[in-house]
Amino acid sequence: MIDRDTSYGIYNNSTPKQKYFFSSKASDDLLFSIAKKYNLHKSDKNKLFTATVGDIILGFYRIEDTVPLLQQELGLDPRTAALLGA
């Protein structure tokens, strides 16, 4: 996971579309809904999930790395990571 200072430094230079997906209420609500669906919302994994998706939005990781990244960062089984990364 990328540290917060680095993320916000990149955020300041990101596109309006990236800023929207990174910090809008709609994105936050959607990510919480997804976390809830996969029972990540009641644990510290929700915060990790949100941060990991944010790192992808800001371009720190390639989209195709989403599934292995979710497995690594959240300790998810391959099937759940694949469903989340789809």
Q: What is the pLDDT of residues 53-82, one digit of tens each?
A: 999 999 999 888 989 999 999 888 999 999
58 domain residue, yes or no: yes
Domain that holds residue 50: 39-86
**Does residue 86 have a pLDDT over 80?**
no
pLDDT of residue 17: 93
Based on C-alpha coordinates, what's the Rg of the chain? Answer: 12
pLDDT of residue 5: 84
pTM of this structure: 0.81
H helices of the chain, where? 4-12, 16-23, 25-37, 45-57, 66-74, 78-85
pLDDT of residue 24: 93
Question: What's the token pair of residue 37?
Answer: 């669906």
49 domain residue, yes or no: yes
31 domain residue, yes or no: no
11 domain residue, yes or no: no
4 domain residue, yes or no: no
Q: What is the pLDDT of residues 21-41, one digit of tens each?
A: 988 999 999 999 999 998 888
